[in-house]
Amino acid sequence: MIIAFVHNGKAFLPEMDAYTRFFSACQITCEVVNRNELGLLHRHVEWWMMGVDLTKPKEGIYKIHEYGSSSLPPWRWWKNWWKSFFNAQPDFRLFLNEYVQKAFNFHDHIPFGYRDMGVPEHWLQTDPFLHERDYDFVYTGDLSPIRRPEALLKCFSTGAMKGKTLLIIGRDYEHLQEAYASYRNIIFMGPLPHHLLDFYILRARFGINYTVDMEPFSHQTSVKLLEYAALGLPIISTRYAWVEQFQRQYGGEFFYLEPDLSNFTWEAVSNFPYARPAMETLTWDQQIRKSGVLTFLESKFPELQFTPRP
């Protein structure tokens, strides 16, 4: 059996590694392609990371649509409506969470499930104190202008943290790298394959979850926070709806930044009593298993057996 994962390559998708590991262990072949390569590939399942999919159904090929995020501003509600109205109908849908499902507001009876973000299980066994610290802070992920990264970078260029080092692991950061080239304490790196990410995260003393408090970011899972927490890093975060809900559900103690970052000082973050949230139920294996997609695949391919049958 062959699953073709289809995406445009523009976003960080740690789930690609997770899906490949999971399904390969079940003797299922996984191919990651863009839409132009899809027609050249023999496949049994098309698993689209949405996006837009205007392709017609093909006999004998099942289609899964995965919505990992609501559309971004500007005109995000219009974009969501357009996608819900014009996208091809799949056989199954996956949503990051209930917020994303409601954002698209599909009016049909296609089965669906929720597949939240996760972490590699072996990361939970990591002892962060066994690693040397080459950087004071690390930030991973998106640096697009809509996330307003300049406010954070100003703290390290001319602000209270100008004497501390910040490792930024991302992609498409050339404009920022050029703008902050004279500040040697701001180090840009990447993009990195996900299997190397833990090595570099663990070289920092603190993990920064800098997220603007605006939709849809304020209601969507912060992958960086999950990764810092899994590896045992003390977490510094902006305050917004998702992170507060996560803390209520899984515990932990995070240093919350003021909106103007006025409390972001070395003394404050060094003296805060951090605590690690409970991450045991947030592994990729568990997130995939409870999403419902495996039951869907078993219903279409009776030879598959992802869980022992009585």
Q: What's residue 309's pLDDT?
A: 52
The secondary structure of the chain in percent helix, strand, coil, rounded to multiples of 5, reads: 35, 20, 45
Cis peptide before 74 (omega within 30 of 0): yes
281 DSSP 8-state letter = T
Exposure of 186 by Cβ count < 10 A (0-12 exposed, 13-18 middle, 19+ buried)? buried
* CA distances from residue 10 to 119, 171, 212, 240, 283 in whole angstroms, order as listed: 21, 9, 20, 25, 24
- What is the model's pLDDT at position 12? 67
Q: Torsion angle, CA of 289/294/296/302, rounded to 10 degrees? A: -150
Which residues in the chain land under pLDDT 50?
310
Q: pTM of the full predicted structure?
A: 0.93
The pLDDT value given to residue 308:
59
Residue 38: what are its φ and ψ, rounded to 5°? Answer: -60, -40
Polymer length of the chain: 310
pLDDT in tens, 266-288: 999 999 999 999 999 999 999 99
